[in-house]
A and B are shown apart, each in its own frame.
Chain A
C-alpha cells in the first residue's frame, strides 16, 4: 500500500522534468523574437519556442492531475520557485550569440529526438500520447538545428570560432540531461516509463560525429554539472523565472 503514493510522486516529478525542460527552453528561445540575425530565423526560433511551450503545457497539465496539491499547468509554470523546478542545466543557459543558441538547440533536439520515441511506448497512455505528438514537431526542430550546426561549424573562420566557444561553454551542461533519480528507477522497474539507461551513449553517437566533422574538439578536462533533478540549478534559472513569472505574480489570476 505504500508503493502507490511513491509511484505517483515519482511520475509527477518525472513529468515536471519534461515540462520544465520544454518550458524554460521555449522561454529562452522566445527572447530571440525580433532579434534574430535574419527574418527567417526569427520566425523559426519563435515557432520552435511555440512548439516547446505547447509541449510544456501538455506535460504540466498531466503533471497537475498527479499533483498532491492539484495545481494547474499555469500554476506549476508561474507559481513555483527555482528550487522546485526540475529542468536540466542546458536549457537554463543564456542565449549568447546565434552559434551558442543553435548549438544548445542541437544538443537538446538530439536529446528529445532519442527520448520521445522511447516515451511514446510508455505504459502511461497520456505520457505516450504527448511524446508521440511532440516527436513529430521535434523532427523538424532537429533538422533545423543540425543543419545550422553543420553550417556554422564548417562555415567561416568566425562562425567556426564561435561554435568552438559555444561548445566550451555548453558541454559541461549536457551531462545532467541524462540524470536518472531513484524515482526514475522506480518508474522504470515498474514498467511505467521505458528504460532510459543508455540514452547518454546514444546521444553521444549522434552529436560526436557532427562535432568531429566540423573540427570542433571537446573541451579538455570537462566535468558535468549535476543536481538539477534535486533542484540545484545554475544561477541563470532564477533570473529567467523572475522575468517569466513577473506578470502572473504581480496580477494573480489575470486572464489572457
Chain B
C-alpha cells in the first residue's frame, strides 16, 4: 500500500490490542454480539511480523464464517495490521458453553432465547430443554415450532403467553 507511512508496523502491536480490535467485529447474523464473546476466536498470536488469528466454526456449514473472516481482515487492516493469517481449527468443537454470560444477556435483549449450559441436567436427560423462557415476556409457557430456524444455530419457538414467535439459540 502506498500510504504505508501512517500504518503502524505490525511488531508494535500487542496481543491485547488485537483482542480489543476483534471485539469491534460483530457477528454478521446477530450483530449485537461480537466474535470474541461468541467464543469462536480460539487464539491470537504474533509470529515475527505476522498476526495469526485462529477461528473455529459454530456449525460445519455456517455461511457466516466466510463473512466473519472477511470482516476480521478488514477490521485489522484498518488498524494497521499488514500481515494477517487466519487459521481454522475444528477441534475441540465449538460449544454454546463458550458464549459468555454477557453475550447470552445481549441475545435475550435482542429477542433470541439464549442456550442453557450443555451440562444442564434436563439437557443431559432428554437432549432438549423443555423450559425455554420467552425473551420478550419471560413466560416459560413456550412451544417448539421447529428444530431448525433462520440460521444453523437457531430453533423456532412460540410463546403461548404473549403469542410471539421467537428464535432460540440451540444448545450445541
Q: B145 touching A40 by the CB < 8 A rule?
A: yes
Query: Counting CB contacts under 8 A, is B59 at the interface?
Result: yes
- Given A54-B59, A140-B170, are A40 and B148 also a contact pair (CB < 8 Å)? yes
Contact digits for B94-136, partner A, Cβ 8 Å, 1 yes 0 no: 1100000000000000000000000000000001100000000
Please report whether the interface of chain A is mostly helix, strand, loop or mixed according to DSSP.
Answer: helix
B4 at the binding interface (Cβ < 8 Å): no
Asked whether B3 is an interface residue with its Cβ less than 8 Å from the other chain, the reply is: no
Q: Contacting A43 at CB < 8 Å: which of B61, B149, B170?
A: B149
Contacts of A40 in B (CB 8 A): 145-146, 148, 156
B147/A125 in contact, CB under 8 A: no
- Residues from chain A with a CB closer than 8 A to the CB of B150 are 43
Bound form: Cα–Cα A147–B62 in Å: 25
Number of A interface residues, CB 8 Å? Answer: 29
> Chain A residues in contact with chain B, CB under 8 A?
26, 40-41, 43-44, 47-48, 50-55, 57-58, 125-126, 128-130, 132-134, 136-137, 139-140, 143-144
1/0 per residue B6-18: CB within 8 Å of A? 0000000000000
A-B contact count (CB 8 A): 76
| Chain B interface residue number, banded | 20 to 34
Q: Which of B43-92 contact A (CB under 8 A)?
A: 57, 59-63, 89-92
Known: A129-B91, A130-B60, A133-B91. 20 other contacts (CB 8 A): A41-B146, A43-B146, A43-B149, A43-B150, A43-B156, A47-B149, A50-B61, A50-B152, A51-B59, A53-B61, A54-B62, A58-B90, A128-B91, A129-B89, A132-B91, A134-B60, A137-B152, A139-B127, A143-B147, A144-B147
Chain A CB within 10 Å, residue with most, of B90, B145, B146, B148: B148
CA distance A183 to B131 in the complex (A): 48
Within the complex, the shortest CB–CB distance from B142 to chain A, in Å, comes to 16
Chain A: minimal CB distance from B69 (Å): 13
A57 near B92 with CB under 8 A, answer: no
Question: Which chain A residues border B28 with CB–CB below 8 Å?
Answer: none
Contact A43 B148 (CB under 8 A): yes
Q: List 24 A-B contacts (CB under 8 A).
A: A40-B146, A40-B148, A43-B148, A44-B147, A47-B149, A50-B62, A51-B60, A51-B152, A55-B61, A57-B60, A57-B61, A126-B90, A129-B90, A129-B93, A130-B90, A132-B93, A133-B60, A133-B90, A133-B91, A133-B93, A134-B60, A136-B93, A136-B172, A143-B128
